């Protein structure tokens, strides 16, 4: 059974053909990083315009790459939220138009549900129940997953998403967008104990908060900037920048790993999956695996291409909607805010 997945929820135009919800036949991602990097973040209007230009070529490439035609598809799965409304509209309208004209069933997939199902696209696959930590530029959440459609939110960020914090700290340090990979790299040459940044553990809940940490980095940077000119910050203090990057990263990773560890204990589950762009972070991957070994918990982390936004995860989740008869109508509308 072949499903075409489509995701245009943020700044990547993506399409993928997946067989039986688990085997990736093709997986195409057209990134918009070049368009947005000069603004230090995603510009929603530019994102939707680029999606309009790219949606057909990306879908065409996914279909040709898989060597299939529209008549071979059992369904088209499209992400209808949460995300940027103008971006979501492009994918949803495109999927609806094809489904209507070719009489193909349409299924709607929540973007977070897609991230959860990215773990099923590679071996070994998790068994239910498991905890799912989603850490991306737009989301940071912890869910308990008991089966398809059986999701319980344990906590989510109260302010910035983890990736958003990385991107904002990168900007504060005069570095580029997206900040996650850059800070990850610089942190490897820094001292993670150099600055004792705050860790918001919020002990009574599984929610997260990263805005205080971002402010603490801002204060640390400002105190240095008063000593040197902004433009010289990087060249004069590359050692300091590495230390700030390492100390910031240690604070983010400590919170993510500790809170996941507490949730594992409370929920009495033996498996945890990690997904979203920040799951590409080298320190988070390492520390989460170490925690798994210490606690005898299986940790599932998809390969980098499946951590960041992709349509294979939408097709994987869409497969379950399709086989359980959860077909969307032509009145499907995208939603910027769409709880799981
Ligand atoms: O999942 P994703 O591709 O898009 C969203 O749905 O947001 O995640 C993008 C986010 C960005 O904030 C980026 O800075 C972050 O993931 N990211 C990383 C790393 N690679 C990407 N954060 C930390 N370390 C990385 N290596
Ligand atoms: Zn995402």
What would the mean pLDDT of 262-281 be, rounded to a whole number? 96
Model confidence pLDDT, tens digit, residues 240-250:
999 999 999 99
Pocket around ligand 1 at a 6 A CB cut-off:
10, 136-138, 163, 166-167, 178-181, 184, 276-278, 280-281, 308-309
Ligand 1 atom nearest to CA at 9: 6
Q: What is the pLDDT of residue 41?
A: 86
> Mean pLDDT across the stretch 225-251?
78
Q: For the range 146-153, what are the long-range contacts, defined as Cβ-Cβ under 8 Å and sequence gap of 24 or more?
A: 148/320, 148/324, 149/320, 149/324, 151/113, 151/116, 151/340, 153/339, 153/340
The protein residues having their C-beta less than 5 angstroms from ligand 2 (an ion) are: 136, 309
Q: Identify the residue whose tokens are 């939707």.
A: 48
Q: What percent of the chain has a predicted confidence (pLDDT) above 90?
A: 90
Q: Is the pLDDT of residue 318 over 70?
A: yes
C-alpha distances out from residue 11 to 98, 193, 202, 276, Å: 22, 34, 31, 14
pLDDT (tens digit, 9 = 90+) per residue, 49-72? 999 999 999 999 999 999 999 999
> What is the residue-averaged pLDDT of the chain?
95
Query: Given this model, what pLDDT does residue 232 score?
Result: 56
Cβ contact 333:86 at 8 Å:
no
Q: What is the pLDDT of residue 228?
A: 62
Confidence band of 224 (pLDDT split at 50, 70, 90): confident
Q: Give me the pLDDT at residue 229, please.
A: 59
Q: For the chain, which domains are there?
A: 2-117+307-323 (3.30.420.40), 127-301 (3.30.420.40)
The Å distance, Cα 65 to ligand 2 centre, comes to 23
Of 10, 180, 311, best ligand 1 pocket probe by most atoms within 8 Å of the beta carbon: 180
- Residue with the smallest CA separation from ligand 1 atom 18 is 180
Q: What is the pLDDT of residues 279-292, one digit of tens each?
A: 999 999 999 999 99
Per-residue pLDDT at 193: 97
Measured CA angle at 311 (ends 161, 178), to 5 deg:
40
pLDDT of residue 236: 43
Substitution site in 31, 308, 312 for ligand 1 pocket (most atoms within 8 Å of beta carbon) = 308
Asked whether the predicted pLDDT for residue 157 surpasses 60, the reply is: yes
Q: Is pLDDT above 90 for 235?
A: no
36 C-alpha vs ligand 1 centroid, how far in Å?
14
163 CA to centre of ligand 1 in angstroms: 5
Q: Which atom of ligand 1 is nearest to the CA of 167?
A: 14
User: How far from 174 is each of 47, 112, 162, 249, CA to CA, in Å?
Assistant: 23, 31, 19, 17
**Range in 11-15, 83-87, 223-227 with the lowest mean pLDDT:** 223-227
Distance between CA atoms of residues 191 and 246, nearest Å: 6
Residue length of the chain:
340
**Mean pLDDT across the stretch 125-131?**
97
Question: What mean pLDDT is predicted for residues 93-115?
Answer: 98
- pLDDT reading at 233 higher than 60: no
Q: Ligand 2 centre and the CA of 88: distance in Å?
A: 12
Q: Ligand 1 centre from 37 Cα, in Å?
A: 13
DSSP 119: G
In this structure, which ligand is nearest to the CA of 175? Answer: 1
Backbone φ, ψ for residue 4 (5° rounding): -90, 125
pLDDT, tens only, 167-222: 999 999 999 989 999 999 999 999 999 999 999 999 889 999 999 999 999 999 88
Average pLDDT over residues 265-288: 97
């Amino acid at each position: 059974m072949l499903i075409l997945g489509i995701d245009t929820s943020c700044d990547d135009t993506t399409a993928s053909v997946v067989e039986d919800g688990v085997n990736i036949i093709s997986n195409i991602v057209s990134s918009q990083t070049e368009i947005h990097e000069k603004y230090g973040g995603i510009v929603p209007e530019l994102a939707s315009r680029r999606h309009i230009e790219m949606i057909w070529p990306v879908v065409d490439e996914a279909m040709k790459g898989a060597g299939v035609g529209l008549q071979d598809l059992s369904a088209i799965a499209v992400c209808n939220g949460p995300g940027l409304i103008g971006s979501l509209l492009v994918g949803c309208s495109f999927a609806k138009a094809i489904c209507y004209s070719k009489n193909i069933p349409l299924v709607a997939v929540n973007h977070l549900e897609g991230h959860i199902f990215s773990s099923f696209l590679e071996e070994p696959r998790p068994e239910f129940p498991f905890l799912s930590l989603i850490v991306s530029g737009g989301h940071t959440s912890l869910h308990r997953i008991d089966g398809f459609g059986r999701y319980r939110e344990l906590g989510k960020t109260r302010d910035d998403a983890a990736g958003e914090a990385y991107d904002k700290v990168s900007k504060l340090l005069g570095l580029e967008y997206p900040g996650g990979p850059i800070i990850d790299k610089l942190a490897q040459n820094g001292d993670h104990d150099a600055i004792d940044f705050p860790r918001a553990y919020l002990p009574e809940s599984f929610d997260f908060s990263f805005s205080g940490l971002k402010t603490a980095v801002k204060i640390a940077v400002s105190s240095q900037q008063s000593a040197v000119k902004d433009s010289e910050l990087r060249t004069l203090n590359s050692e300091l920048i590495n230390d700030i990057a390492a100390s910031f990263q240690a604070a983010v990773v400590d919170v993510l790993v500790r809170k996941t560890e507490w949730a594992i204990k409370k929920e009495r589950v033996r498996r945890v999956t990690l997904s979203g762009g920040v799951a590409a972070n080298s320190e988070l991957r390492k520390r989460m695996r170490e925690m798994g070994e210490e606690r005898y918990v299986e940790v599932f982390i998809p390969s980098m291409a499946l951590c960041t936004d992709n349509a294979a995860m939408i097709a994987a989740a869409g497969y379950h909607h399709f086989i359980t008869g959860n077909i969307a109508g032509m009145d499907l509308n995208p939603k910027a805010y769409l709880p799981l």
